[in-house]
């Protein structure tokens, strides 16, 4: 009980930001660690990349980085830390592709495990599930989704549920949820996993499924890395499409836009991907689209000059195979005829399935060229119940946010009625809720509206309005500084979450960057 209280009584100390040098406070532990028998390397020098992430806001330098070559390397390190007992402050953080936003994959003065190194020494294996007779791929948790896509396509298959960006690892997205425009049909990525292999916080290697060690299985999915280091996963596959009709249409009226989105996600014979975004006071965007998308109508939509306006873009996609080339247009037209977008704003393009799924990588390359990829990313992701989305839009779009020049704002509904609700993922109570993602980039030396300070203050205002207007929103990719805030976030799920922590990582060794539990020293 004392241990439990220590683990749970945690408040994050914001001032504990590391400098670039670190003198270990327990040299004995460090020198013993150097003697561990490993297939891979434990480096005390090649560590600086592990103090950075995509968010580019938090930087915590670890003491060492483990580059594992086997699951046993990970188990050896965790077992060693566990056997040290609560005498050492050292923690361990698995790092996928480091695309966290607020230091979640960092370990201040601890050991970061480079999961991509494990993936380099593990194979991808393709199988058929004996119970369901469906295909799946058995992959290393450090594998990037883009690599899984390419390997699966060679065999005519594809995972079903994605994120908008594929240069993320399996372990990283499964520890959150993995939500994109396919989630309305297949659920998030955590709904499309049959089996996990994991090293728990005691160093034990466990295999878990919906039936075997199911408590751990559910805990790990959306578990923010708290209960174990996922080392392998079985991901469900389906026959792969080849081509995609990729469509954007515009609305001036929010109610019509959301009605269409909700109708699309409630139908089984609908598009394969449904997302959307908000454009406030954007200049020249439609002209950019015209160059890459075919505007179906030659009329230039004067009424859609976007300057000074809030407009809503529905983004949808229909997958098809080459053999459907003669019927696909008719199918798409029939689906579009049920929607109420502005008739002059139909933008259609036809791209390969890979190009569609890997679309954000194209923007990444362009931004990298301009030096705009490695800037701070003060992102805010919210899950807003359907019944509150209009109030949310009234309060935020055009009021708190007067333009969207700092980055895209995604907005699309999902329906969790067919999702596995036993996972650790926290969602609003209502079955249908919207993902609203404010994906801002801050300019490092700016003091204007695109400064980090300004965007963070805008995010704070949005969170405050959710609170004061009682919008019952939940954060996705959540970030809090105190355990009280985490308890509020988890609500009735907190007890189970804390019990699992005590059971699978009793010393709170794992994933300190989430700032939920403190190692019990
Ligand atoms: P990391 O940042 O390395 O790790 C994330 C967390 O998981 C950390 O706490 C880490 O310690 C833990 N972790 C990592 N590996 C493991 C493991 N093997 N076992 C246990 N814990 C582990 N998310 C969506 O849902 N939908 C999107 O469409 C989407 N688009 C994105 C687009 C971009 C450009 C970016 C940068 C992020 C996007 N995300 C999206 C968020 C993304 O899913 C998360 O940030 C994810 O955690 C990143 O994966 P990663 O491999 O970089 O993980």
Shared domain for 286 and 302, answered yes or no, is: yes
Q: Is residue 521 part of a domain?
A: no
pTM above 0.90, yes or no: yes
Q: What is the pLDDT of residue 17?
A: 36
Sign, CA dihedral 141-145-149-151, equals: negative
- 3-state DSSP call for residue 343? coil
Q: Is residue 482 part of a domain?
A: no
Residue 110 Cβ contacting ligand 1 at under 6 Å: no
Number of folded domains in the chain? 3
Residue 435 Cβ contacting ligand 1 at under 6 Å: no
- Residue 100 Cα to ligand 1 midpoint, Å, equals 5
> What's the CA gap between 332 and 496, in Å, rounded?
45
Shared domain for 439 and 425, answered yes or no, is: yes
Q: Write the pLDDT tens digit of every residue in 164-207.
A: 999 999 999 999 999 999 999 999 999 999 999 999 999 999 99
Q: What is the pLDDT of residue 9?
A: 42
Nearest CA to ligand 1 atom 43: 173
Residue 178 Cβ contacting ligand 1 at under 6 Å: yes
For a mutational test of ligand 1's pocket, the pick from 107, 108, 168, i.e. the residue with the most ligand atoms closer than 8 A to its C-beta, is 168
Q: Is residue 324 part of a domain?
A: yes
For a mutational test of ligand 1's pocket, the pick from 173, 277, 408, 439, i.e. the residue with the most ligand atoms closer than 8 A to its C-beta, is 173
Sheet bearing 474-476, strands edge to edge:
294-295, 347-352, 243-251, 310-320, 273-280, 409-415, 432-438, 380-385, 474-476
Nearest CA to ligand 1 atom 32: 165
Shared domain for 229 and 268, answered yes or no, is: no
Shared domain for 228 and 300, answered yes or no, is: no
Nearest to 170 by CA among 195, 139, 199, 192: 139
CATH of the domain at 90: 3.30.43.10
CA of 514, closest atom in ligand 1: 9
CATH of the domain at 148: 3.30.465.10
Nearest to 124 by CA among 134, 113, 135: 135
Residue 230 Cβ contacting ligand 1 at under 6 Å: yes
Residue 182 Cβ contacting ligand 1 at under 6 Å: no
Q: What is the pLDDT of residue 419?
A: 95
CA of 511, closest atom in ligand 1: 11
Residue 99 Cβ contacting ligand 1 at under 6 Å: yes
Residue 152 Cβ contacting ligand 1 at under 6 Å: no
CA of 178, closest atom in ligand 1: 25
Instruction: Indicate which residues carry an active-site annotation.
Output: 99, 164, 275
Residue 345 Cβ contacting ligand 1 at under 6 Å: no
Among all chains, which residue has been given the structure tokens 């230091």?
103
Q: Which residues of the chain have pLDDT under 70?
A: 1-26, 283-307, 520-521
Q: What is the pLDDT of residue 265?
A: 97
Residues whose CB falls within 8 Å of the CB of residue 428, separated by 6 or more in sequence, listed in order? 383, 384, 385, 472, 473, 474
Q: Is residue 216 part of a domain?
A: yes
Q: Rounded to the nearest 5 degrees, what angle is found at the Cα of 20, between the Cα atoms of 15 and 26?
A: 80
Shared domain for 446 and 302, answered yes or no, is: yes
Q: Is residue 484 part of a domain?
A: no
What DSSP element (H or E) covers 334?
helix 328-336
Q: Is residue 519 part of a domain?
A: no
- Residue 153 Cα to ligand 1 midpoint, Å, equals 23
Contact by Cβ (8 Å): 425, 194: no
- Residue 176 Cα to ligand 1 midpoint, Å, equals 7
Residue 187 Cβ contacting ligand 1 at under 6 Å: no
What DSSP element (H or E) covers 279?
strand 273-280
CATH of the domain at 353: 3.40.462.10
Q: Where are the alpha helices (DSSP H) in 9-157?
A: 27-34, 71-83, 115-120, 145-154
- Residue 94 Cα to ligand 1 midpoint, Å, equals 11
Shared domain for 255 and 125, answered yes or no, is: no
Nearest to 351 by CA among 249, 237, 241: 241
CA of 225, closest atom in ligand 1: 21
Shared domain for 378 and 407, answered yes or no, is: yes
- Residue 173 Cα to ligand 1 midpoint, Å, equals 4
Domain boundary residue, one of 239, 266, 299:
239
Q: Is residue 483 part of a domain?
A: no
Shared domain for 295 and 405, answered yes or no, is: yes
- Residue 252 Cα to ligand 1 midpoint, Å, equals 34
Residue 141 Cβ contacting ligand 1 at under 6 Å: yes
- Does ipTM top 0.85? yes
Shared domain for 467 and 361, answered yes or no, is: yes
Cα-to-chain-centroid distance, residue 451 = 24
Residue 104 Cβ contacting ligand 1 at under 6 Å: yes
Report DSSP state, residue 418: G
Q: What is the pLDDT of residue 312?
A: 96
Shared domain for 273 and 178, answered yes or no, is: no
Shared domain for 296 and 437, answered yes or no, is: yes
CA of 188, closest atom in ligand 1: 25
Range of the domain at 179: 119-239
Nearest to 89 by CA among 191, 13, 190, 158: 13
Shared domain for 32 and 132, answered yes or no, is: no
Q: Is residue 214 part of a domain?
A: yes
């Amino acid at each position: 009980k004392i241990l439990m209280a220590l683990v749970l009584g945690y408040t994050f100390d914001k001032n504990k930001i590391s400098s670039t040098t670190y003198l270990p406070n327990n040299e004995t532990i460090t020198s013993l660690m150097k003697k561990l028998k490993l297939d891979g390397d434990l480096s005390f020098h090649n560590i600086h990349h592990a103090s950075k992430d995509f968010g580019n806001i938090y930087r915590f330098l670890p003491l060492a980085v483990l580059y594992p070559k086997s699951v046993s390397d990970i188990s050896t390190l965790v077992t060693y830390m566990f056997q040290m007992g609560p005498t050492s402050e050292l923690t361990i953080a698995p790092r996928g592709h480091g695309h966290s936003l607020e230091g979640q994959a960092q370990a201040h003065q601890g050991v970061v495990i480079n999961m991509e190194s494990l993936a380099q020494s593990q194979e991808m294996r393709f199988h058929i599930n004996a119970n369901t007779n469906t295909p799946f791929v058995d992959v290393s948790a450090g594998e990037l989704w883009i690599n899984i896509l390419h390997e699966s396509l060679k065999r005519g298959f594809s995972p079903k549920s994605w994120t908008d960006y594929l240069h993320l690892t399996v372990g990283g997205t499964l520890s959150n949820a993995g939500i994109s425009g396919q989630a309305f049909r297949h659920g998030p990525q955590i709904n499309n996993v049959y089996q996990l292999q994991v090293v728990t916080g005691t160093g034990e290697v466990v295999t878990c499924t919906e039936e075997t060690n199911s408590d751990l299985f559910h805990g790990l999915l959306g578990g923010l890395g708290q209960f174990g280091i996922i080392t392998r996963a079985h991901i469900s596959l389906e026959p792969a499409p080849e081509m995609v009709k990729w469509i954007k249409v515009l609305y001036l009226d929010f109610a019509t836009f959301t009605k269409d989105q909700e109708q699309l996600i409630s139908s089984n014979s609908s598009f394969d991907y449904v997302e959307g975004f908000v454009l406030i006071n954007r200049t020249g965007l439609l002209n950019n689209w015209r160059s890459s998308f075919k505007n179906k109508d030659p009329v230039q939509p004067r009424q859609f000059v976007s300057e000074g306006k809030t407009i809503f873009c529905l983004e949808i996609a229909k997958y098809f195979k080459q053999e459907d080339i003669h019927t696909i247009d008719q199918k798409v037209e029939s689906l579009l005829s049920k929607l109420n977008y502005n008739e002059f704003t139909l933008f259609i393009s036809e791209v390969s399935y890979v190009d569609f799924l890997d679309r954000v990588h194209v923007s990444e390359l362009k931004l990298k060229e301009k030096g705009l990829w490695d800037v701070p990313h003060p992102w805010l992701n919210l899950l807003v119940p359907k019944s509150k989305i209009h109030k949310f839009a009234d309060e935020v779009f055009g009021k708190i946010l007067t333009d969207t020049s700092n980055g895209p704002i995604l907005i699309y509904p999902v329906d969790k009625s067919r999702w596995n609700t036993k996972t650790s993922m926290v969602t609003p109570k209502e079955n249908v809720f919207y993902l609203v993602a404010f994906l801002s980039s801050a300019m490092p030396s700016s003091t204007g509206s695109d400064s980090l300070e300004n965007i963070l203050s805008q995010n704070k205002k949005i969170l405050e309005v959710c609170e004061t207007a009682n919008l019952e929103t939940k954060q996705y990719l959540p970030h809090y500084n105190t355990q009280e805030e985490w308890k509020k976030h988890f609500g009735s799920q907190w007890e189970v979450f804390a019990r699992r922590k005590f059971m699978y990582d009793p010393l709170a060794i794992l994933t300190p960057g989430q700032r939920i539990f403190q190692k019990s020293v």
